[in-house]
Structure 1
Amino acid sequence: MEPFKVYQLPKDFHNLVNFLKELQKNNNKDWMDTHRKWYKEVRNDFIEWLDRMNDQLATIDDDYYDTPGKKGINRINNNLMFHPHKPVYKDHFGAGLDKRPGTGDFYVEIGIERSLFAGGLWRPDPKTLRSLRDAIDYDGEKLKKIIDKPSFKKTFGGLYEDEKLVKAPKGFSNDHPHIDLLRNKTFAVAVAFSTKEVLQDDFDKKLIRVYREMLPFRRYLSNALTV
């Protein structure tokens, strides 16, 4: 593995945050069309930063799935077909890195109110969820060891809190040793950062630290879906 490289955040991360603030004051297509040049500028800066992070993560993870910024970045438009009451545009730029098909990626979000790193699987489809539960039934103690690690708890506080089944899922007993895990509908973790933290020079180091801490958890999920 190559030695760790320190990348400075692009100076235009400040520009990105300022753009998002103005966009939320003027969340409509007319404003976006008028400021399209500004949008492309901050979007390109974000993609450039993602490319550098993509290269860096590949040096610390032998199984990393190459995900250039243009491939990982999400649309800034909200999907109004399914969420008609949402604003036209999001209040953040988001992207997935290490985006191997069929598994959970490493999600990066830079926003106004909050920014976060997250990973895992958010309410996966029934087939995927069954695969995860079968894996937990087989060797759930491995997952417990990962999420009970002190540094993992300090970083993420535990698994992301979401809806859970009241009783054991079909095919499993209520006295299963890992019933608390089996009842989950979401298997993900996340850590949030303030805008002030995002604009500090060591933000890239924080991304690397969180990625390393999350890696065993994400590998367990990937193995459950691919083995």
Structure 2
Amino acid sequence: MSFYQLYDFLRDLQKNNSKEWMDEHRKRYHEVRDWYISWLNELDVELGKADPDYVSIEGRKAINRINNNLMFHPDKPVYKDHFGAGMDLNENGKQGDFYIHLGTEESFIAGGFYKPKKKLLDSIRDAIDYNGEEYKKIINRKSFTDTFDIVDDGDSLKTAPKNYSQDHEHIQLLRQKTFAVRHDVTQREVCQEDFKQRCVDVYLEMKPFRDYLNKAVTV
């Protein structure tokens, strides 16, 4: 089993996105999923070696369900076009995790807080108000900008958040509702033998960014 077979399965699933097809090919699905869970367990070990503060998680708990939530999104297909997995969960849950997304349309490694709830967003803004220069140093470091794209949810405020002035020195950051980054990878790159090490390298490059945010929402 390999990532080639994982992508083959996802492509076939998207061509036949129905419960009937999945029922016929459920054994194949579980073979791919179980293999990927084992791979995530190996990555979990490597991340633990690289970072003494890493919070270990079993691959079976890290991997997301492949079913779409049709209750809230009835127009979506029955199944997702990707396997998603959240690693290194903090006490606030998956929003601040280290996320791996392997899909037919896009594959990437990401992390941070995507559209966090108001309490967490307020905490992040408080941190930026207090020491935004530290945050800017992290996201403007050359190795960081060479590795990541800032996730733009297109939903930033047009004005200043409540209790902040329009001329605040960090106003552009304070207007954001998402604080996350992503590192895009091709299917070819995922299928290379060094992909696990690449995940570790990306994790370590992202660590100061995630540490800043996680500290902001826990202090």
The partner residue of 2:22 within 32, 49, 65 is: 32
How far apart are 1:113 and its partner, in Å? 2.1
What CA distance in whole angstroms lies between the structure 2 residues aligned with 1:123 and 1:170?
17
Q: Is 1:105 equivalent to 2:93 in the alignment? A: no
How far apart are 1:188 and its partner, in Å? 0.2
Residue 55 (structure 1) aligns with:
45
Residue 137 (structure 1) aligns with:
129
How far apart are 1:111 and its partner, in Å? 1.3
The partner residue of 1:222 within 207, 214, 217 is: 214
What CA distance in whole angstroms lies between the structure 2 residues aligned with 1:143 and 1:49?
33
The partner residue of 1:188 within 180, 193, 207 is: 180
Question: Any unmatched runs of 5+ in structure 1?
Answer: 1-10
Residue 55 (structure 2) aligns with:
65
The partner residue of 1:76 within 62, 66, 80 is: 66
TM-score (normalised: structure 2): 0.96
The partner residue of 2:109 within 114, 117, 120 is: 117
Matches within 5 A, 1:142-181: 142-157=134-149, 159-162=150-153, 163-181=155-173
How far apart are 1:166 and its partner, in Å? 0.3
How far apart are 1:102 and its partner, in Å? 0.3
How far apart are 1:197 and its partner, in Å? 1.1
For each residue in 1:70-128, what CA deviation from the matched residue of structure 2 results, as whole angstroms up to 9, or x when unmatched? 11110000111111111100111110000123050000011122211000001011111
What CA distance in whole angstroms lies between the structure 2 residues aligned with 1:75 and 1:101?
21
What CA distance in whole angstroms lies between the structure 2 residues aligned with 1:88 and 1:181?
37
Aligned-residue Cα RMSD (Å) equals: 1.0
Fraction of identical pairs, as percent: 55
Moved over 4 A (4+): none
Question: Any unmatched runs of 5+ in structure 2?
Answer: none
TM-score (normalised: structure 1): 0.93
